[in-house]
Amino acid sequence: MTTPITRINPVLIDIPMPVETDRLTIRPPQPGDGIRVTEAKRETWADLTRWMDWATGEPDPSADEAVMREAQARFILRTDLMMLAFDRTTGKPVVFTGLHRNNWHARIFEIGYWVPTSARGQGYATEAANALTRFAFQALAARKVIITHAAGNEASAAVIHRLGYTLESVERFGTTLPDSTVVDQYRYARFDANGLPDLAIRW
Ligand SMILES: CC(C)(COP(=O)(O)OP(=O)(O)OC[C@H]1O[C@@H](n2cnc3c(N)ncnc32)[C@H](O)[C@@H]1OP(=O)(O)O)[C@@H](O)C(=O)NCCC(=O)NCCS
């Protein structure tokens, strides 16, 4: 007789929030966030429509508000952990991020991020991804944290390299860009938080 595999119901996993660094407060979406997402998308749309598969059509406040409320629900259900990172001084959202495609049994999580044009070049994406990497290992008992980027997305690759992720695989023709180009996808992983750039963090 084989022993059945016991799998935890992810809804029962406690996820401490918010996560704070010296510069950022990182939290799940909540009602009212939609308009801020729309504003951030509008200033960044040309770049987002280059790289992000969800960036089609035009940013719309009602649609974004619905996405934020649905994402809050998915966070509670643990099916996806979308998060927003706010600059603690200005209160502005500076990174749209989260832990996605989560495998709660294997404890494997994937970080995603985008930064509004006006907030680029200040290390916010690197700081948020550093924080979520630490959070995944230390608060969620991660075995592995993944970040991927499409071939040619050098800004995203730079974030990944700054955080000491190592290349795990290159999937040939692994992703389709919004303009329908099919390109390779680079997949990087970390198996612990050792050697990440120093970061004061609490949750
Ligand atoms: C990928 C993306 C988030 C990178 O944004 P970014 O602003 O370049 O990244 P960071 O916020 O980490 O900032 C890094 C830059 O700030 C500088 N910087 C300033 N202060 C810093 C600090 N305290 N820590 C780290 N970097 C700092 C770095 O030197 C770097 O500048 P450089 O690009 O001139 O070398 C952004 O290009 C983006 O949103 N792209 C579209 C969406 C996307 O492709 N997402 C990834 C999908 S895989």
Is the distance from CB of 20 to CB of 134 less than 8 angstroms? no
| pLDDT tens by residue, 45-96 | 999 999 998 998 999 999 999 999 999 999 999 999 999 999 999 999 999 9
- 10 Å CB burial of residue 142 (0-12, 13-18, 19+) is buried
In CATH, the number for domain 16-197 is: 3.40.630.30
The residue to mutate among 113, 117, 127, 188, having the most atoms of ligand 1 within 8 angstroms of its beta carbon, is 113
C-beta 160 within 6 A of ligand 1: no
pLDDT confidence of 7, banded at 50, 70, 90? confident
Q: What are the boundaries of each domain within the chain?
A: 16-197
Q: Is 125 in the pocket of ligand 1 (CB under 6 A)?
A: yes
Ligand 1 contacts CB of residue 155 (under 6 A):
yes
> Is it the case that residue 164 has pLDDT exceeding 70?
yes
Q: Tell how far the Cα of 122 is from the centroid of ligand 1, in angstroms.
A: 7
